[in-house]
Amino acid sequence: MIWTDLSASDIAEKITQLGNPISVHIAEQLLDEFDFHRRCAQKYLCMKACPNRDEQFVNIARLTQEYLDSGAPILSMDTKKRELIGNFYRDGSLLTKGTQLTFDHDYPSFAEGVVIPHGLYDPRLNRGYLHLGTSCDTSEFACHCLKDWWRRFGREQYPGAKSLLLKCDGGGSNSANTYLFKADLQGVADEVGLEIRVAHYPPYCSKYNPIEHRLFCHVSRACQGAIFTSVELVRRLMEKTKTRTGLSVVVDVVQEIYHRGRKLAEEVKDALRIFRDNLLPKLNYRILPRS
């Protein structure tokens, strides 16, 4: 990659010093002729090669189409960046009558709390569901959000549904590597009587999860420049998220306390009704209700 941090004025000056006087306008024309334009770097390259990456994407596309054709619910799940509550700087600008002054450091010890936005996105209805946690991002929290969605919205929007497709990343609170998420999903399946089919995106591929580019980017835009001085303010800002294509968002605050470091007994793992697919079983599986 060839790049320069010189301005057109710098380039014109250096070429002139070499004995070929040119104006800034000519320097700009030369830059344009050789395709030098200001560009931002893009987060695109995977940090590590993932075996069976393409195979899993084809599988996710197949499952998505199956559920779309059958009318069964599909949800994309992820947790957005944790935010500090208090007078802390945030990127973006607002219309103001004066400059907003914030702390010059983002020390958590100065925060009045935290907000952890957990998201569910329904691609069929183009609707997002955000739960603002004030504790920790855990699998218990993620599954609490899923259960709340079904009770309040899902069972009415999808009457008679027998199965739910859940598309999520491979790490974090919905990790594909541990049994905690699976055990908490089993609790949801038992309580709501629904089969939960899970398809994890391959490692280092979270940007392809639909919730990232169909919900979270628009939530960020709705909140840009605002100082998160309270959880209620965050709720009101995120609730205003919308697009011209009809995206709407429901936002709720979850005050429950969740704890990290939970361990599962072997008998709990053995009691799970989990059925792994033959294709990439670590990333694809079904959890059936035990009742």
Phi/psi of residue 92, nearest 5 degrees: 110, 170
pLDDT in tens, the chain (291 residues): 688 888 999 999 999 999 999 999 999 999 999 999 888 787 766 666 677 899 999 999 999 999 999 999 999 999 999 999 999 999 998 888 888 999 999 999 999 999 999 999 999 999 999 999 999 999 999 999 999 999 999 999 999 999 999 999 999 999 999 899 999 999 999 999 999 999 999 998 989 999 999 999 999 999 999 999 999 999 999 999 999 999 999 999 999 999 999 999 999 999 999 999 999 999 999 999 997
Domains and CATH numbers, the chain: 1-39 (no CATH), 53-287 (3.30.420.10)
The pair of three-digit structure tokens given for residue 254, joined into one six-digit string: 């979850």
Predicted model pTM: 0.86
How high is the pLDDT of residue 5? 87
The answer to whether the CB of 148 falls within 8 A of the CB of 252 is yes
Q: For residue 149, which of 131, 137, 135 has the smallest C-alpha distance?
A: 131
Distances (CA, A) of 50 to 55, 109, 115, 284: 11, 38, 32, 16
The answer to whether the CB of 218 falls within 8 A of the CB of 247 is yes
In the beta sheet, which residues pair with residue 286? 197, 275
The answer to whether the CB of 173 falls within 8 A of the CB of 145 is no
**With the CA atoms of 197, 142, 209 and 80 taken in that order, what torsion angle do they form, in degrees rounded to the nearest 10?**
180
**With the CA atoms of 211, 199, 170 and 195 taken in that order, what torsion angle do they form, in degrees rounded to the nearest 10?**
100
